[in-house]
Amino acid sequence: MGALWKAGGDMMLAILNFFYGLTHSYGLAIILLTLVIRLLLHPLNHKQMVSMQRMQKLQPRMKVLQEKYGNDKAKLNEETMKLYKENKVNPAAGCLPLLVQLPILILLFRALMNYDFGSISFLGVELMGSVLSTLAHAVGMAPDASIGVVSVLSAVAANPAGLANVSVYGGNFILLVIISFLTWFQQQLTSSGNPQMAMMNWFMPVFLAFICLSLPGGVLLYWGVSSLAGVVQQWFLHRKTELEMKEKPSLFRNKPNREGDEE
């Protein structure tokens, strides 16, 4: 298995170096590599998104079933499965494409994570440096110092004037903000009309931003481009679903009676 992972990683690096040979820019090479991966995975991504949108379209009908069979879990499950079958929806269909994609995405992530970009930057983004390391450099932390959230914040507090060196950390920080916004926007598209997901809409961007603080700029560039492509794809699909849902589906001729009500 280890040899297989290594072969996959070597292939990703070979493609990255191929695009670098064409563009003579590691930033553009990462963008092109990311877009190629997105194109290859487009059928799976599309299937996953369509499945999620279909589930969203069925929410009004699900609410009616919950109102009617709320006190009978077995009947509710039975009617729910009938609803899925009637509309050709498989709740697991959204997960299966993701499982297929994960190994490819992990290979790409590891290839970029371990690649030595040296001191190369792209549009102000230091490809080897993270938000924390570039911020540490800006406020004058020792090169051999242990870089973590607490230590960097302490260094900023000790030398706030270093924040004026925006050119040192600005590119990586702005990219982090963009990734966080795209994550938030994608959550809005995914959970539109679902109040139960309101907390998750804010938690996920903050959680991912925290993770991204220590990731190299090359990985952030891949993540940002991939997120942007995903948001564009999902936005068009979301708009299509919205137009379809403007014509409200006929749930039943009359709203089902609750348990115990007169027929």
> Do residues 252 and 60 make contact, with C-beta atoms less than 8 angstroms apart?
no
Show the CA angle centred on residue 89, arms to residues 85 and 90, nearest 5°.
100
- pLDDT band, very low/low/confident/very high, at 181 (cuts 50, 70, 90): very high
Give the integer Cα–Cα distance in Å for 187 and 48: 15
Model pLDDT for residues 196-220, shown as the tens digit of each residue: 566 667 788 888 888 888 888 988 9
DSSP state of 91: G
Average pLDDT over residues 231-246: 71
DSSP-assigned letters across all residues of 54-65: HHHHTHHHHHHH
The answer, yes or no, to whether residue 145 has pLDDT greater than 70, is no
Please state, for a pLDDT cut of 70, what percent of the chain lies above it: 76
Give the integer Cα–Cα distance in Å for 62 and 18: 50
Higher pLDDT, 152 or 112: 152
Q: What is the pTM of this model?
A: 0.75
What's the confidence (pLDDT) of residue 101?
65
Model pLDDT for residues 12-29, shown as the tens digit of each residue: 888 889 999 999 999 999
The answer, yes or no, to whether residue 163 has pLDDT greater than 50, is yes
What's the confidence (pLDDT) of residue 177?
94
Sequence-ordered alpha helix ranges (H) in 87-216: 96-114, 131-138, 149-158, 166-190, 198-212
- pLDDT band, very low/low/confident/very high, at 130 (cuts 50, 70, 90): confident
What's the confidence (pLDDT) of residue 95?
59
Higher pLDDT, 105 or 92: 105
What's the confidence (pLDDT) of residue 94?
56
